[in-house]
């Protein structure tokens, strides 16, 4: 399908584009995959790489509790979950800083230039990337919703509802770009048109089944799709 065909599916009169961070702005999911695999291995769990992409978006402690329940058939104490989480943070800090997903450093300024509001909604609370959003993508800190700002993480709609409320626009005037099935579910539960970018190793139907309105094979096509949409 051409960029023009895809852009014709996008609702008219959008005012605000909301981006997820990991796997959408930064090509960081490989780091999450490696860190999850390593920290779970330390407690005797053979965590499949594919699952790192399925759980993505969920708060870290919830992922740890669910994985321990699933693989070890028992509950994790809060202390144990915290220890595994800190182990994961340690592995993440040892990995190279991820590069941008293709084209995203150009897309965000282009959207702002055309008068659209740009927000970031992420389940992350790791400062490594959160602190770089300003310098790398021109993000205003007031336009970032992170794990620190919500009670309920993705797939709950709260993070996206908070961005919509903060933007001052209606959900129908917003569009979300997500790479994770749970992120797509959160966005759709907030009633927002959602483009999924399959930047990881998931089967594309997983993103479609999560409710994505459009599934793209990566971030590359976004610029030409938005150029078509904005007629620039």
Residue with CB nearest Mg ion? 23
- In whole angstroms, the minimum distance from the beta carbon of 182 to Mg ion comes to 9
Least Å distance between CB 180 and Mg ion? 4
Alpha-carbon distance of 79 to 81, in angstroms, equals: 5
**DSSP per residue, 181-192:** HHHHHHHHHTT-
Tell me the Ramachandran region of residue 110: left when phi exceeds 0, alpha when psi lies from -120 to 50, beta otherwise. Answer: alpha
Interaction of residue 20 with Mg ion, rule CB under 5 A: yes
Shortest reach from residue 95's CB to Mg ion, in Å: 16
27 binds Mg ion (CB under 5 A): no
Looking at the Cβ atoms of 20 and 158, the one nearer to Mg ion is 20
The residue range among 4-12, 17-25, 83-91, 217-225 that interacts with Mg ion, by the rule CB under 5 A, is 17-25
One residue of 6, 14, 16, 22 binding Mg ion per CB under 5 A: 22
Please name which of 6, 17, 2 lies closest in space to residue 193, comparing C-alpha atoms.
17
Q: How far is the CB of 200 from Mg ion (least distance, A)?
A: 9
198 binds Mg ion (CB under 5 A): no
- Nearest distance, CB of residue 22 and Mg ion, angstroms: 4
Taking the C-alpha atoms of residue 182 and residue 11, their distance in angstroms, rounded to an integer, is 22
Residue of the chain from 63, 65, 179, 199 that contacts Mg ion (CB under 5 A): 179
Give the residue with the Cβ less far from Mg ion, 24 or 76. Answer: 24
Q: Does 180 interact with Mg ion (rule: CB under 5 A)? A: yes
Query: Is the bond into 155 cis (omega within 30 degrees of 0)?
Result: yes
Q: Which residues lie below 8 Å from residue 179, measured CB to CB, with a gap of 6+?
A: 20, 22, 23, 24, 29, 56, 196, 197, 198, 199, 200, 207
Summarize as ranges the residues that interact with Mg ion (CB under 5 A).
20, 22-23, 179-180
């Amino acid at each position: 399908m051409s960029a023009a065909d895809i852009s014709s599916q996008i609702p008219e009169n959008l005012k605000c584009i909301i981006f997820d961070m990991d796997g959408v702005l930064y090509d960081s999911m490989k780091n999450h995959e490696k860190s999850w695999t390593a920290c779970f291995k330390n407690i005797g769990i053979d965590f499949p790489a594919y699952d790192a992409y399925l759980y993505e978006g969920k708060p870290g402690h919830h992922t740890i509790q669910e994985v321990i329940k699933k693989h070890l058939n028992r509950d994790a104490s809060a202390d144990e979950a915290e220890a595994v989480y800190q182990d994961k943070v340690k592995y993440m800090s040892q990995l190279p800083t991820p590069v941008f997903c293709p084209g995203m450093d150009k897309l965000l300024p282009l959207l702002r230039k055309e008068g659209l509001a740009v927000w970031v909604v992420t389940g992350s609370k790791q400062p490594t990337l959160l602190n770089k959003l300003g310098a790398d993508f021109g993000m205003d800190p007031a336009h970032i919703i992170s794990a620190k700002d919500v009670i309920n993480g993705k797939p709950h709609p709260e993070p996206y509802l908070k961005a919509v409320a903060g933007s001052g626009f209606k959900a129908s005037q917003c569009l979300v770009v997500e790479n994770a099935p749970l992120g797509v579910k959160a966005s759709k539960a907030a009633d927002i048109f959602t483009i999924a970018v399959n930047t990881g190793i998931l089967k594309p139907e997983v993103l479609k089944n999560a409710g994505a309105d459009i599934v793209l094979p990566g971030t590359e096509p976004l610029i030409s799709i938005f150029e078509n949409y904005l007629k620039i």
